[in-house]
């Protein structure tokens, strides 16, 4: 089933910038897709629209068969909370809150009861290998650790899809590899649908499929023949 269905999506910002010129593609449940393009190509705009953070100016977009317009603002918030996970380039953690508190945040906005929250959050932290940092304040962590906290936060509500916007953009090569390894594992072992936004070919090649965006249009949409596996890379 197509989890994401985008048809002729246009985006014109209020300042007149024409960011997207009719973008169409589908992403299936369980798929690991990369949206690749240079900066200014419109890939972040596209992510915002498919992540229900923004609305398109024209065209149609369906998530799980329903359009943004079918939902009330509270329902949209609920979908972002329950079915979507976000990982940003700038990590976007609450710097003065602990790792545990940061990962708990999506649970606070869900209906999960207090005592269960910590259990779930600790599990998510464990899955990114940061249990020993759970009580640290976020600003004391390294970039790579911060991004892993952000991933734990994205998956704590067990969403159907995880959107990762340049997750390795602010990391050194080694930390970037570790982050990509976790993202791969989320897809392969836990069955999360992943949409990865990146401008780097070698990062995009972790995905099963690359949708190339240039000047607000889909330039190519191809399956990756020779996938790049972070774990294998480490073995070398």
Contact positions vs another protein (CB under 8 A):
48, 51, 53-54, 73-74, 77-78, 80-82, 86, 88, 92, 94, 96-97, 105-106, 108-110, 153, 157
By beta-carbon proximity to another protein, the closer residue of 26 and 54 is 54
What angle (nearest 5°) sits at the alpha carbon of residue 231, between those of residues 222 and 100?
100
By beta-carbon proximity to another protein, the closer residue of 81 and 230 is 81
CB of 90 to another protein, least distance (A): 8
- Under a CB-based contact definition with an 8 Å cutoff, are residues 162 and 168 in contact? no
CB of 153 to another protein, least distance (A): 7
State the burial class of residue 105 (Cβ atoms within 10 Å of its Cβ: 0-12, 13-18, 19+).
middle
CB of 173 to another protein, least distance (A): 26
CB of 68 to another protein, least distance (A): 13
- Under a CB-based contact definition with an 8 Å cutoff, are residues 158 and 164 in contact? no
**Could you count the other beta carbons within 10 Å of the beta carbon of residue 108?**
11
By beta-carbon proximity to another protein, the closer residue of 5 and 153 is 153
What CA–CA distance (Å, rounded) separates 90 from 92? 5
By beta-carbon proximity to another protein, the closer residue of 80 and 146 is 80
CB of 72 to another protein, least distance (A): 10
Separation of first and last alpha carbons in the chain: 37
Q: What 8-state DSSP symbol labels residue 135? A: T
By beta-carbon proximity to another protein, the closer residue of 23 and 230 is 23
């Amino acid at each position: 089933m197509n989890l994401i269905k985008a048809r002729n999506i246009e985006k014109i910002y209020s300042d007149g910038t024409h960011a997207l010129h009719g973008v169409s593609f589908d992403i299936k449940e369980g798929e690991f897709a990369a949206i690749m393009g240079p900066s200014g190509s419109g890939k972040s705009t596209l992510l915002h629209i498919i992540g229900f953070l923004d609305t398109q100016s024209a065209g149609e977009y369906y998530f799980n068969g329903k359009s943004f317009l079918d939902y009330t603002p509270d329902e949209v918030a609920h979908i972002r909370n329950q079915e979507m996970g976000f990982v940003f380039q700038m990590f976007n953690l609450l710097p003065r809150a602990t790792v545990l508190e940061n990962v708990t945040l999506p649970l606070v906005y869900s209906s999960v009861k207090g005592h269960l929250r910590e259990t779930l959050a600790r599990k998510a932290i464990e899955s990114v290998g940061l249990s020993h940092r759970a009580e640290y304040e976020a600003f004391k962590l390294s970039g790579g650790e911060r991004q892993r906290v952000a991933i734990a936060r994205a998956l704590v509500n067990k969403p159907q899809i995880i959107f990762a916007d340049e997750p390795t953009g602010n990391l050194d090569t080694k930390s970037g590899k570790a982050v990509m390894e976790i993202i791969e594992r989320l897809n392969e072992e836990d069955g999360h649908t992943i949409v990865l936004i990146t401008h780097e070919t070698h990062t995009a090649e972790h995905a099963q499929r690359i949708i190339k965006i240039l000047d607000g249009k889909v330039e190519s949409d191809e399956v990756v023949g020779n996938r790049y596996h972070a774990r294998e890379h480490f073995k070398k």
